[in-house]
Structure 1
């Protein structure tokens, strides 16, 4: 096999990055925009010792899982990778990827049955980052997304995965990049529209609670999926002892703590972003609420009364890198009745789950949340029981 070779491939499955996987000459061949069961001709564009990458030249037999993409920019835009796939096939693939991560990385021979929570396939995305179009013209949109595989910006007038208020703003060309900024965030929910350089703060209502957010900081991008996640989070929290303190680590603007405060009068909130923590102070109030503007490692090194008495419930929502070593070690020695782990990367979740299990935690449930339909991105929620004595 060499670069430039034309291969005839039967696609077997989808890989974690979203590509279709086939086999040729004893190695895996990854091809974008393929579907399981496709028979394709593909040109090799990268060749390594253990794998190769190819691009589709012709679809000989199209899979029954293929559908017509809704977006006219699909394939050129660097965003969605799976609009050519039937939505059920997307969620099935994500569930399989999550299970594979726990078996291969986490070492779990058996996991609890994985539930999969779907989302509206389109019109779901409340928070989006746009890029400035370099040479503005009156006849094209001033904003867009990066082209696939390039560093240039593709002007767009619509985005079918975006919330309706964002689509309206795109069509009307209301979205204008702030001065001297190449990329900027936009958030919309209902009639609310926030954008960097314009209205940057506002109140969003999630499951009946009003939360103050800042569009420049992190907030979950799919409000519908977030509400489903909150339902499961609260169900897990209700099994914990409300007399004990709770903890919301990587708390952001305090979304989880705002709901947990209905059960736990005493909560520790930990967040290194001081702007986000200031909003958390507004969103979660009470005499038993403590705020820590420190990193996960700093908190792990710091002793607290909460650790001495034991936490009834703790939720962690780390970045893609997962828990720091220091925090994993602290959780291993703490008395946490129930631990909820919100993850945006199955690989690091599985790695951390392996360490938590070694410390005596029991994996009680595992749920795959489809926060990002039309993409291979996976969110998951794992619930762990307290360490064995």
Structure 2
């Protein structure tokens, strides 16, 4: 049985829809983020469960041919996306397999599949964003939740979002900090602003801006 902090050699042979690579060690599945099918790594075990484990990369012995250098400065700590460390062609293959697994392995259904078509626009294609707001170092910030947590990664310059979203979010946060509007605190229930929700009309180009706030009735405002 594997032990916490044990370092093992692992070949990544599969991928989860959360973006974790999967390898088998003595019959035990080990899930490792930021890996690609075909990677051979030295892996440190960080969590041991009854039938599987979680690990982190200690060293890449040999990288997959589909491994790429991600182009985001906060990718390692932001939870906004999970496939930027692999080629887009490999991302499409992985997602196609997710679809087939859902039908066949989970649903026990075996349909005929149309060919998988990737997106022609690889940056700025998302038409919706929801930025959680938090207070850090005495000021309100917004961005995305870090992986597997509700810690806010202070970053609005996301390559997957249209550039106008960053401009709108930054203007809102400048106003919030100028007026000293408090960000919502999940632990204490204090503060006002919880999320900034943006949506862009694909054809109209119009931007919908929604500010998600706490219940003002409970605060006696209304």
- TM-score, normalising length: structure 2: 0.78
Kindly provide the CA deviation profile for residues 319-357 of structure 1, in whole angstroms up to 9, marking residues without a partner as x: xxxxxxxxxxxxxxxxxxxxxxxxxxxxxxxxxxxxxxx
**Cα drift, residue 11 of structure 1:** 0.7
For residues 139-288 of structure 1, what are the structure 2 equivalents within 5 Å? 142-170=141-169, 173-176=170-173, 180-189=192-201, 191-197=205-211
Kindly provide the CA deviation profile for residues 54-95 of structure 1, in whole angstroms up to 9, marking residues without a partner as x: 111111111110112121110111211111010111111111
Higher relative contact order (CA 8 A, sep 6+): 1
SS of aligned partner of 2:93 = helix
The residue aligned with 1:65 is 66
SS of aligned partner of 2:207 = strand
Kindly provide the CA deviation profile for residues 173-230 of structure 1, in whole angstroms up to 9, marking residues without a partner as x: 21336871222311124642221149xxxxxxxxxxxxxxxxxxxxxxxxxxxxxxxx
Change (3 A) 1:154 1:16: closer
Higher helix share: 1
Kindly provide the CA deviation profile for residues 129-186 of structure 1, in whole angstroms up to 9, marking residues without a partner as x: 1011314767xx832112223332121141110023213335xx21336871222311
Change (3 A) 1:100 1:157: closer
Counterpart Cα distance in 2 of 1:189 and 1:131:
21
Kindly provide the CA deviation profile for residues 219-265 of structure 1, in whole angstroms up to 9, marking residues without a partner as x: xxxxxxxxxxxxxxxxxxxxxxxxxxxxxxxxxxxxxxxxxxxxxxx
Structure with greater Cα Rg: 1
Kept in 2: contact 1:144–1:154 (CA 8 A): yes
Kept in 1: contact 2:22–2:31 (CA 8 A): yes
The residue aligned with 2:31 is 30
Change (3 A) 1:28 1:197: closer
Counterpart Cα distance in 2 of 1:98 and 1:6:
33
Kept in 1: contact 2:193–2:211 (CA 8 A): no
Counterpart Cα distance in 2 of 1:18 and 1:154:
18
Number of aligned residues: 193
Kept in 2: contact 1:145–1:155 (CA 8 A): yes
Task: Please report the RMSD computed on the Cα atoms of aligned residues, expressed in angstroms.
Answer: 2.3
SS of aligned partner of 2:193 = coil
For residues 1-389 of structure 1, what are the structure 2 equivalents within 5 Å? 1-108=2-109, 110-119=110-119, 120-135=121-136, 142-170=141-169, 173-176=170-173, 180-189=192-201, 191-197=205-211
Kept in 2: contact 1:8–1:40 (CA 8 A): yes
Kept in 2: contact 1:131–1:182 (CA 8 A): yes
Kindly provide the CA deviation profile for residues 17-61 of structure 1, in whole angstroms up to 9, marking residues without a partner as x: 321011101111111110011111111112222211111111111
SS of aligned partner of 1:30 = strand
